[in-house]
Amino acid sequence: MEIPYTVETRPDTGLANGKLGIWLFLASEVMLFGALFSTYIILRTGSSVWPHGQLNVPLGAINTVLLIVSSVTMVLAWASLKMKDFGKFKLYQAATVVLALIFLVNKFFEYREHLGHGKPPSASTFDAIYFTLTGLHGLHILGGIVVMLYFLGPGAKLWKKTPEQFTNRIEYTGLYWHFVDLVWIFLFPVLYLL
């Protein structure tokens, strides 16, 4: 049985089902990260001492740049499909994956440096919330990479069958990816600079 409203819009919502679905998913993600940001505020305001200069600011700033550029390449990948240029889509999508992988490699070195200084999550309240927030965000990056690799590999077959549906899927992937970028835009100043 064919899934309805994957390309055409529903008359009542004016949207394809996937579009509304991804936005509702992102709403639940806002709640997830919102709860953790709220926890951060409780811990920070309730603590008499809060460490500064514990994290590598240049590495954090480089990771911010990587995610911003990856957001640009992601939207260009979707735009390429809209312009029926599958070759450019592959190029931009692969660039997004590479940038995301570099982000994770940087994060690995950052974690190693932090742990090397004898600061596991159990060392302090700051370390606990730092590892929780950045770890959860890192898992989202990993999830995004898996989805993007799928659409570069086996999932790309859909382009030949129903290009509009494939373009919509890339749009939903992009919405998720921009959300992940948006979360980092707030995480970077909150954890690294303040």
Tell me which residues touch another protein (CB under 8 A): 13-15, 19-20, 23-24, 26-27, 30-31, 34-35, 37-38, 41-42, 45, 57, 61, 64-65, 68-69, 71-72, 74-76, 79, 82-84, 171, 174-175, 178-179, 181-182, 185-186, 188-190, 193-194
Q: Which residues contact 51 (CB under 8 A, 6 or more apart)?
A: 124, 126
- Cβ nearer to another protein, comparing 26 with 101: 26
- Cβ nearer to another protein, comparing 41 with 120: 41
Minimum CB distance to another protein, residue 120 (Å): 26
Minimum CB distance to another protein, residue 41 (Å): 4
Round to the nearest angstrom and report the end-to-end CA distance of the chain: 53
Q: Is 87 helix (H, G, I), strand (E, B) or coil?
A: helix
CA 139-144-147 angle, 5° bins: 130
- Cβ nearer to another protein, comparing 115 with 164: 164
Minimum CB distance to another protein, residue 18 (Å): 12
